[in-house]
Amino acid sequence: MANISDLEYLRLSKGQKLLFRLKRFFTDSLPNGLKNFFVRIGKGIGSGCQKIGSECKDIVSTFVHGDWKTKLSYLVMGFGCLARGQILRGILFLLFEIVFIGYMILAGGYWLSMLPSLGKVGPTETYNELFDTYTTTYNDNSFKILLYGVLTIFFIIAFIYTWRQNVKQNQIAEKILASGKKLRSGKEDLHSLVDDQFHKTLLALPMTGILIFTVLPIIFMVLVAFTNYDGAHDGYASNLFTWVGLKNFNTMLSWNSAGGTQSYAATFGEVLTWTLIWAFFATFTNYFLGMFVAMAINKKGIKVKKLWRTILVLTIAIPQFISLLYVSKMFAKDGIINGTLLSLGWIKQALPFWEDPTWARITVIIINIWIGIPYLMLITTGILMNIPADLYESARIDGANPWQQYTKITLPYMLFVTGPYLLTSFTGNMNNFNVIYLLTGGAPTNAAASSAAGSVGYTDLLITWLFKITTGAESQYYLASVVGILVFIVVALISLIVYNVLPSIKNEEDFQ
Amino acid sequence: MSQNKTAGAVAKRHMGLKTSRRIGNTAIYILLIAMSVIWLVPFICILLQSFRVESTWQVGYVVPQKWGLDNYQNLFKTDFPRWYTNTFIAALCTAVLQTVIVLCMSYTLSRFRFKMRQPLMRFMLILGMFPGMLTMIILYRVLKDLGMTQANAVPGLILVYVASSGMGYYVSKGFFDTIPKSLDEAARVDGATRLQVLYKIILPLSKPIVIYTILTAFMGPWGDFVFARYISFGASAGKNVAVGLYDWLSKDQINKSYTMFCAGGVLVAIPVTILFMCLQKYYVEGVTGGAVKG
């Protein structure tokens, strides 16, 4: 890519400028961004290794130079604290160690040892001659093994971290005592939790919730993608499930037809394409039309601004499922829209709003505009009012017409300020379950797609497809999990690209 | 003479501007009126159809031929009151707990500068890119083991709503960022602890965002479909209004309960809408403030 000077760039026409920037993005920014990304990952791993090395060194040197109290703390956690009079800390450390060892002996060891096989003995049936019945005994539980196995690993990591803290405590305490100062008492420790350590108190509850209800399930589900966990292998009542390696990814990304007449890869490609098209239109139609409505209401000389706004805001207040479900029925074959048009004699046959793939896709986007405009009108109204009025004033004096004012002042300002919003809105729309599922449920069904994957339809997004897989006849959780991981990769890739190109996202402190 | 001419031209041009503006405004009025109609028609339709008694299925006309309250009376012969209470309890508890969690999270991330802050925020950003629905598969089984699914879905639902709500800290963090830090520092100099700074200085200034958080947390459960569907799977007593009303529109039930769906929808929409309209001011503030921060 030949570099051109600023002057040459300025001389280009508008179309050429855009072309140039796009080209530069793909030849310059994208490869560089990716390169930097991988370099950063490499560096991160490198510095991580270095950090672990220096930690180990530190642990050894603390042991060598420490006194007997410190040395004993390596075995009995918190001993140093107890011996030096920091009773509260010492008891907490000791308690943690006891709980950990107890847990590992009683349960953790079992879960950990079963993790590689995910259970050995499935449910067995014994025949009872007397009553002529079979009684089932349930043995290993793959689901629990996987779940508690992951939890145990969490616990071990937490233990190693705490043990390291325990060593550090001794080192610090020795230093403080050597310099002739006093150690913090338990009371002071408690007080610091509402003062200089207040952030830990505040974060404790939210982070526990996120760890247990988001992080743990996500790790679990990522692991499920490498197993054969489904309705027929539920790990307990029917069959055990087990590790299958990359088989599920192969299934999802192979072009061999499976079950139906179309391969999974082709179905995935179709759904992904529609998801991206949908996200693009849903984001930008709403954005521009919402902005337009906001500007129309803001225009000088328009009266009862508040009334117009209130009417639109009213539609935000009504729970979405009511409006979506109702509107979806309005557009049905025997719905109000078709009924009215028929009785007016404007059409002879009911319009196939939900029956024809193209009609359905367009209808979904249009109804989404109806849903989205009020919300965007609110967001943009506030920002539009922040644009300094003298900018328009001087533009008008220079003879700029409204369209020029819009493209030269309003739009650049809006795009700069709402850049981050557009990104989150785009990824949010990719995962917009409610609008699609409540409006169409994915219909019309794509007959060519594999029926094993929960009868995917033409308006299905990846996220609704995922839902259909899990609730479908075969409950192929492993496949749902593969789709979930692929959704993550797509979203992360898009965010990474946009993040590297947009200037306004990067600097958080700029806004403060 | 020539001066007169120019003055006339200016006046003419002025007149031209005025008429063109008037035409523009008229066009905008027409547009706004058309929009208002389009935006309100579905809700008027749903209201009208909830009073239709001559048939219970979907019809192609709007105005009922026979009016009555039958649909509303029939609602109370179904599980609808149970669903309504379920949703209401879930919404109330979520509103309280979620507000506490979100405010803790956003206040900390806005006000404190600690070592793990940036990594934590980046971590949650990445976490947010996973489809949250995926976690339902495992949460359903775990909650089932704890006896918090099907008919007892409400506690399970509250737990699911509240537990991960810390990740939605963006809007209120954006608000806290706008409160000057010098206020904190002045109080700290005077010897206030961080806790005292929070409830004596920051909270009184944060009324709009507290109300915004409560309002959105309260409205969330009314519209939630996925989680409620998963957790209440197969048990009518554990459904919330969204799941219950959705099922009424399924193929085998729609002919029996379409008008009842309309009546139920009206009953759900009215209290939520009234609450929302009363607190509209705060919602608008939160939305406009939060979106800019992203």
Residue in B45, B107, B129 to test binding to A, most A beta-carbons within 10 Å:
B129
pLDDT band at residue B6 under the 50/70/90 scheme: low
Contact list, B133 vs chain A (CB under 8 Å): 433, 463, 466-467, 484
> What's the pLDDT score for residue A261?
67
pLDDT band at residue B294 under the 50/70/90 scheme: very low
Spell out the residues 6+ positions from residue A490 whose beta carbon is closer than 8 angstroms to its own: A272, A430, A462
Distance CA(B113)–CA(B106), nearest Å, equals 13
CA dihedral A63, A64, A66, A72 (to 10 degrees): 50
Contact B32 A511 (CB under 8 A): no
Amino acid code (one letter) for A2 = A
> What's the pLDDT score for residue B1?
43
* Percent residues over pLDDT 90 in chain B: 13
Contact list, B35 vs chain A (CB under 8 Å): 293, 308, 312
Distance CA(B176)–CA(B154), nearest Å, equals 32
> What's the pLDDT score for residue A223?
92
pLDDT at A505 over 50: no
> What's the pLDDT score for residue A240?
84
Distance CA(A385)–CA(A298), nearest Å, equals 9
Contact A480 B137 (CB under 8 A): yes
Tens digits of residue pLDDT in B37-68: 988 988 998 899 889 888 777 777 778 888 88
Contact A488 B246 (CB under 8 A): no
**Residue whose entry in the numeric block shows the structure tokens 């409505």:** A293
> What's the pLDDT score for residue A1?
42
Tokens linked to B87 = 């949703």
Provide φ and ψ at B292, rounded to 5°: -65, -35
Q: How far is CA A199 from CA A395, B42, B170, B194, in A?
A: 49, 48, 17, 9
Provide φ and ψ at A197, rounded to 5°: -105, 20
Separation of CA A35 from chain center: 24
The alpha helices in chain B, defined as continuous H runs, are 2-49, 70-75, 80-111, 117-127, 134-145, 153-163, 170-178, 181-189, 194-196, 203-205, 207-223, 226-231, 241-248, 254-278, 280-293
| B143 CB-contact burial (10 Å; exposed 0-12 / middle 13-18 / buried 19+) | buried
Tens digits of residue pLDDT in A314-328: 888 888 888 998 898
Provide φ and ψ at A131, rounded to 5°: -100, 0
pLDDT at A508 over 50: no
How many angstroms separate the most distant Cα atoms in chain B?
97
CB pairs under 8 A between A and B: 259
Distance CA(B207)–CA(B66), nearest Å, equals 48
Mean pLDDT of B188-216: 87
Q: What's the DSSP call for residue A459?
A: T
Tokens linked to A214 = 């988001």
What residues form DSSP beta bridges with B52?
B67
Tokens linked to A370 = 């109806």
ipTM for the complex?
0.86
Count other C-beta atoms under 10 Å from residue A176's C-beta.
14
Give helix A411-430 / helix A477-501 axis angle, nearest 10°: 170
A352, A330 Cβ separation under 8 angstroms: no
Secondary structure of residue A445 in the 3-state scheme:
strand
> What's the pLDDT score for residue A504?
47
H/E run at residue A465: helix A462-471
The residue ranges of every structural domain in chain A are 22-63, 66-198, 264-507
Amino acid code (one letter) for A475 = S
Contact list, B142 vs chain A (CB under 8 Å): 147
pLDDT at A208 over 80: yes
List of long-range contacts for A29-33, beta carbons under 8 Å, 24+ apart: A29/A500, A29/A501, A30/A497, A33/A496, A33/A497, A33/A500
B165, B98 Cβ separation under 8 angstroms: yes
B174, B206 Cβ separation under 8 angstroms: no
Provide φ and ψ at A233, rounded to 5°: -125, 75
pLDDT at A33 over 80: no
Q: How far is CA A422 from CA A374, A379, B294, in A?
A: 16, 12, 9
Residue in B134, B160, B176, B229 to test binding to A, most A beta-carbons within 10 Å:
B134
Mean pLDDT of B180-195: 86
pLDDT band at residue A510 under the 50/70/90 scheme: very low
| Nearest one of B44, B54, B51 to B69, comparing CA atoms | B51
Which is more confident, A117 or A488?
A: A488
Tens digits of residue pLDDT in A233-271: 887 777 888 888 888 888 888 877 655 567 888 888 889
Residues, chain B, total? 294
Contact list, B141 vs chain A (CB under 8 Å): 143
Q: What's the DSSP call for residue B200?
A: I
Count other C-beta atoms under 10 Å from residue B278's C-beta.
10
Amino acid code (one letter) for A382 = G
Q: How far is CA B187 from CA A198, A394, A512, B191, B192, in A?
A: 15, 45, 20, 7, 6
Contact A318 B269 (CB under 8 A): yes
Tell me the helices (H) and strands (E) count for chain A, helix number first: 23, 2
- Using CA coordinates, name the residue in chain A closest to B280: A313
Distance CA(A77)–CA(A81), nearest Å, equals 9
Contact A210 B294 (CB under 8 A): no
The residue ranges of every structural domain in chain B are 2-70, 78-293
Secondary structure of residue A135 in the 3-state scheme:
strand
Tens digits of residue pLDDT in B111-169: 888 888 888 988 888 888 888 888 888 888 888 888 888 888 889 999 999 988 888 88
Distance CA(A179)–CA(A174), nearest Å, equals 9
> What's the pLDDT score for residue B11?
57
CATH 1.10.3720.10 fits B78-293, yes or no: yes
Spell out the residues 6+ positions from residue B71 whose beta carbon is closer than 8 angstroms to its own: B50, B51, B52, B53, B56, B259, B260, B262, B263
Contact list, A343 vs chain B (CB under 8 Å): 60-61
pLDDT band at residue B4 under the 50/70/90 scheme: low
If phi > 0 it is left, if psi is from -120 to 50 it is alpha, else beta; for residue A441 that is left
What CATH homologous superfamily does A264-507 map to? MetI-like (1.10.3720.10)
Tens digits of residue pLDDT in A50-109: 988 988 888 888 888 888 888 888 888 888 888 888 888 889 999 999 999 999 999 888
Distance CA(A219)–CA(A473), nearest Å, equals 25
Mean pLDDT of B197-217: 88
Mean pLDDT of B4-23: 64
> What's the pLDDT score for residue A230?
85
User: Nearest CA of chain A to the CA of B69: how many Å?
Assistant: 20
Distance CA(A258)–CA(A449), nearest Å, equals 9
Contact list, A502 vs chain B (CB under 8 Å): none
> What's the pLDDT score for residue B162?
92
* Percent residues over pLDDT 70 in chain A: 93
Distance CA(B225)–CA(A320), nearest Å, equals 10
Distance CA(A334)–CA(A349), nearest Å, equals 11
Spell out the residues 6+ positions from residue A134 whose beta carbon is closer than 8 angstroms to its own: A125, A126, A127, A128
pLDDT at B5 over 60: no
Tens digits of residue pLDDT in A104-162: 999 888 888 888 888 777 777 777 777 777 777 777 888 888 999 999 999 999 999 99
User: Nearest CA of chain A to the CA of B169: how many Å?
Assistant: 10
**Residue whose entry in the numeric block shows the structure tokens 């529109």:** B249
pLDDT at B293 over 60: no
pLDDT band at residue A365 under the 50/70/90 scheme: very high
Contact A147 B142 (CB under 8 A): yes
Out of A214, A314, A434, whose CB is closest to B225? A434
Q: In whole numbers, what is the pLDDT of chain B averaged over residues?
A: 84
Residue in B36, B104, B109, B130 to test binding to A, most A beta-carbons within 10 Å:
B130
B240, B232 Cβ separation under 8 angstroms: yes
Distance CA(B56)–CA(A440), nearest Å, equals 22
